[in-house]
Structure 1
């Protein structure tokens, strides 16, 4: 089912983006998938403290927005892999910039705390 945006949704493009990729878990999931294609169990082990149910929900949301792709292999036992879609690949630069900003921010905060 395609996602439909209203004029209200697109009023603030930043809010639209954060609505799609924001939240506690999606950033970590996207960061992992920006590194490489992963199976569900790999993601579950890699993302700390996420429940199986929550990971499933977050992956479905990201797939619904065409940020990730889910590939199911016809084999026994079933094999499912997740990767960034073409749309999701566009986020890699943003994720890299966010990582750089976060590291810089944390370093500055740590330096301030040391001098206090």
Structure 2
């Protein structure tokens, strides 16, 4: 009988402030600029420095958002609540810690993002 490997936590974890409570697991898309948004695929979790109105067309495709800056009324936070997307702000250095393609969990109830690896 084949059993799928269980996922385990890697030590790569970033904490932030929850904006909209929820949990998402998926592929990280680390975008340092709006020009990199073209790589977003449905279900991705966006990790970026911050968002503005130019990012709006991509929000319906995402399953979660993490920004390094922003407050409860920042663009990313407001739009995340509007779309019901799990969101964390103040995720310091997240764009340096994670890479596009990493399998991650964004748990905004706990205010963390972490990488998932297989055995």
TM-score by length of 1: 0.30
Structure with greater helix percent = 1
Bigger Cα Rg: 1
TM-score by length of 2: 0.30
Structure with greater strand percent = 2
Q: Which has the higher contact order (CA 8 A, sep 6+)?
A: 2
